[in-house]
Structure formats: C-alpha cells, structure tokens
Amino acid sequence: MPESEKKQITLHGIPAAPGICIGQAYLVGTNSMEVVRKYPVRKEDVTEESARMRQAVKKSETEISLLIKKMQQDNSQQSFILESHLAVLKDKMFFGSTIETIEQQQVNAEWALKITVDRLTHNFNKIEDEYLRDRSSDIFHVYERVMRNLVGNDDKGIDTIHKRVILVAPDLSPAEASQIRVEWVQGFVTDRGGRTSHTGIVARTLQLPAVLGLGNATTQIHTEDVIIVDGIAGLVIVNPDENTLVDYSEAEARYENHLFEISKFSHEPATSLDKRTTEVSANIELLEEVVSVKDKGADGIGLYRTEFLYMNRRALPTEEELFENYKEAVDLMEGKPVTIRTLDVAGEKVAKGLMAPHEDNPALGQRAIRFCMRHPGILRTQLRAILRAASHGKIRLLFPMISSVEEILAVNQIVREVRQDLESHNVEFGRDVETGMMIEVPSAAVCADLFTPHVDFFSIGTNDLIQYSLAVDRGNKNVAHLFQPLHPAVLRMVKRVSETARDAGIRMAMCGEMAADPLHIPLLMGMDFDEFSMNPQAVPVVKSVVRSLDHGQCQALLEEALKLPTADEIADLITGTYGDLVFQHPLYAQDAPQDQPE
C-alpha cells in the first residue's frame, strides 16, 4: 500500500519503560522467527536471485516429499499435514508473490519471502473461523523450511540486526531480550507482558522505550511501518501523520534534554532539604548492567536478581561459577553495597532436567524460598558462593517470598550451617553479612514485628505485595488498572512495616518499582525509608525529587494521605501539594502529545 494511503492508528498498551522513539517496525516472533537482513540486488542479478529462491523451494519440496513417503511407509495418518505444506509451496500467493517481489523491488530472496509471509499471516489472522485462522501456522512452517534452505543452517537472532528498528513481537523471551543490541534497537512493543514482567524490566534496564500488553500489535503492525512508541503514555502510533510526527519529535527532544540535565547531578547524594539522606540504589539481573548502575549514579545494588545464572543451561551453575559472578559484581561496585537475592523461580526451567513444578497458579505455589527449601542443595551452593564473595566487599543477603517465621528460622539455620562448614574447611568468607527478607506477601507485612528478631533488614517488594494484597494480576491488561500502589490498603501496610522496622532498629528498604515513580516519593519519604532501589534509569530522577523535598513536610503529607479512602484522592493530594515538583518530569508533562483518534 502506498505510504500516502496508510491510515494512522493508535494502539493502547501498558507503559513499561519511559521514553519516546520513532522508527521503522521490525516483526520478530510468531510471524517471523528469523531476523532477516534486507539488501538490494542489481538488475542484472535479479534472475540469479529468483533462481536461488526456486532452488530453495525445490529443495523444500524434495524434503517434504521424502517425509511424506516415509510417513506413509510407517502408516502414519499425519502425512496430510505435509501434503498441505507442499500445496503452500506451489501456491502463487506464496511462491509467485515472492518471485514477483524479488523482480519488482530488486531485493534479496530472504527479504522478499519474509514480506510475503508477513502479509499472508496477517490476512489469515483476520479470518474469523478459528480453524482457517490457525492454518497460518502451516504457512509459517513452510516459511521456516524455505528460509533455512536459502540461508543454510545459520541461526539468525536479534543480535544480527544491523539497522535501526523498533522490535514488534508477541513477547520476548529472556534469551531473545539478552540479544538486543541497543545501537540498532530503538525500542520494542509486544502483544503480551506488563510493566513488571521480565520484558518490561529488561526494557527499563536497557533504557529503551517500550509498550507491552497490546494484545494484537503483531497483527496491526507490519515490517517497515513507521511507528511511534510512547513509553510514557503507553501508546503506539502506527503510520503517524505529519502533525503527529512533528509533535512527537519535539516531545522526544524535550525528554532527552530533561534526562541530560538531571544526569549532571546523579552521582551526588540524595539529601532532602532538611538534610536527611536516603540511599538510591539500582536493581539488576545481569552482571553487564553494573555499568548502567554506576553510570546513573546509584549508591549501590539494592537487588541483584540471580535467576539468570540458572536459566537456559545444561546443568546447574557450580559454586565456583556463582562465586566468580558475585565477586565480580562486588569488585565492580568498588566498595558500594550489593544486595544479592537468593534464587526466585516460579514455574520456569532451572537448568536441564530440573524444573520448578508446573502448577495452575505458580504465583501461589512452590516459588522462591519454597522452591529452594525443597532443593536445599541448590540453596546451600548459592549461599556458599555469596558468603565467599562477601570476603571481597560489602554484600547483603536477601531471602524472597518469606511468609512465616518458621521459614526464616529454617533459612537462618541453613546459613549458620553453611558458615560453620566454610569455617571448618578454612575457606575464606565474609563474617559480617547482613541478612534480610523480602516483604512481599501480606502475612509478612502484618506480622513484621515477629520477624524483626531474626533479620537485619526488610526490603519491600511492592510488585508482589500489591499483587497479593489487591488480588490483581499485574500482567493482565484487563485488570492492570486495579494495580494501584497508592491504594489505602497498600499504604497502610507499607507504613506499618516501616514503623515496625524503625521501632526495632533494623534497616528498611524498598526494591519494588513503586519507588521508581516520582509521584510516590513524597509519601515514601514520609515513611523514613533508608534505601530505595529501582531500575538504573530511574535513579537520577528519584535522586532529583528527593533533593527537592523536606522530610518533615513529607511526614505531614503522609498523615493526610492515610485519611483518604481512594487511590485517586491520594494521588490528587500529592499532585496538589507537589504538582510543580513531580510534573516537571516528562512522565507527567502537561504538554506531552495527546492521545490521537484512531
């Protein structure tokens, strides 16, 4: 379709990572498992390029025919599926269209094939009949076979992209996300996922604008469509008109300028107007992110999620592997604290042959510390590595998903046994490691006073605490609006925990995304937190807000907020009191481009 005839549409999703980017879409995932490079073909080489495509199709036909023959010899009843694949190969909409694209656009066969399949699967996805709609998978399987014969057996991944694009995908696995090269990928949008999903976390870590949970982005957007990703408002604008492009280009420039200005002071302490200092640390999943942590001026690592060390590998990591990883994190932070959370899995594969059990509701099942207590050998190995690394720098040990005193007592006993074992074998380890627990389930928050004799610090994980307290699946876009950090129940629970920690004289931190939002900082300041920890990108912003606040006034604001019955009224109170402060951030810019009509 000519560019002039493309209609602007606006898709609404979940704002997962702030920022704005404008560029060409590139579909990956269900509609295009391969990342395909496009390059021009000289006019005199077009015939040869078409022949290459024909050879790949011919080879695919031979392969499929041999499979059919073998299946028939085995009396298999499933050969009709492959026969349908043969029909696809011969269909002019598949083969003929690809040859036509090569000849008319003078592009390589791989790119022409990709364009053809994207168009066909898009059309299939619009069919109402479910059976017919599902036949698009046959096209995709044929596509994979032909593509493999075109390019050989080389696996193409996201890391092979060599042009500036915005990724559009059903979802991005951790392995795919780890392949993203920020010099080529401007941002990404997905059908699934939410602000606190793994994809969202990766987006913020890489500082790439992202809108997730769009539902049908991969059917609404095509490769090479011009799109705008507004990671602040949660909008994706497809085929924007000239006025929209101008508005968003200006908004993008304002946003980048604001980040530049506040970054000038990001390495200074976050000290309030009345001289109370709060540590502002960063959350990480990968060792490579330490560079971003230091670049953004974080005061430490407030949460090192260690799950990645266990995923997508043939065997569990050894104690030495873990030790080297943790030691490197400590070394890179150069004396600043590193809080390491023990393994927190829920239904994911943990190395080959070891899987957290499938459960209908893994969020309420054998996850985190429950999984580790079921596999104490895994926990002991990790604890040995952490304690050994602690001899090289300041490490805090954090246990996730503690819901009862019995659990923390059992975990502490294992820690003591590991220490005794290290000592008995004359292995060097850190002897003054602080141990803490996540407050992320209501039972831990309500009974916080019962835990204080057994830990050195609390760290509130607001993502899970809010989810469990309000019974809201934060990744479900149908109820995501009910995920309210300012809900009166959440505030009262957090305040209760903070008071308990203060009365007991133990350290109090928050490592959930609630602390990354400038709107929440005045109330959290009023609760006397010792540390906020968040995605590295948010550190300069939060430090800037803390420096602009008076701790005493924040305490008074908190008391007023706790009298209000709804999250909206509490938000209005904050914005009415500190509107000039929080609104100065582009997240809340009043002159940001408004939602465009579809």
Q: Point out the residues that are catalytic.
A: 198, 511
Q: Which long-range contacts (CB under 8 A, 24 or more apart) does 427-430 make?
A: 427/384, 427/388, 428/388, 428/391, 429/384, 429/387, 429/388, 429/390, 429/391, 430/387, 430/388, 430/389, 430/390, 430/391, 430/395
Burial of 390 (0-12, 13-18, 19+ CB in 10 A): buried
Q: What are phi and psi of 394, to 5 degrees?
A: -85, 115
DSSP annotation of 472 reads -
Classified as helix, coil or strand, 339 is strand
List Cα–Cα distances, 284 to 307, 339, 513, in angstroms: 11, 10, 12
235 forms bridges with which residues in the sheet?
12, 230
Instruction: For residue 145, give the 3-state DSSP assignment.
Output: helix
Measured distance CA(433)–CA(443) in Å, rounded: 26
Query: Ramachandran region of residue 19, left (φ > 0), alpha (ψ -120 to 50) or beta?
Result: left
C-alpha closest to that of 270 among 506, 548, 553, 585: 548
Q: The tokens of 519 are what? A: 């709107």
Q: Is 432 exposed, middle or buried (0-12, 13-18, 19+ CB in 10 A)?
A: exposed
What's 21-88 look like in SS3? Answer: EEEEEEECECCECCCCCCCECCHHHHHHHHHHHHHHHHHHHHHHHHHHHHHHHCCCCCHHHHHHHHHH
State the DSSP code for 4: G
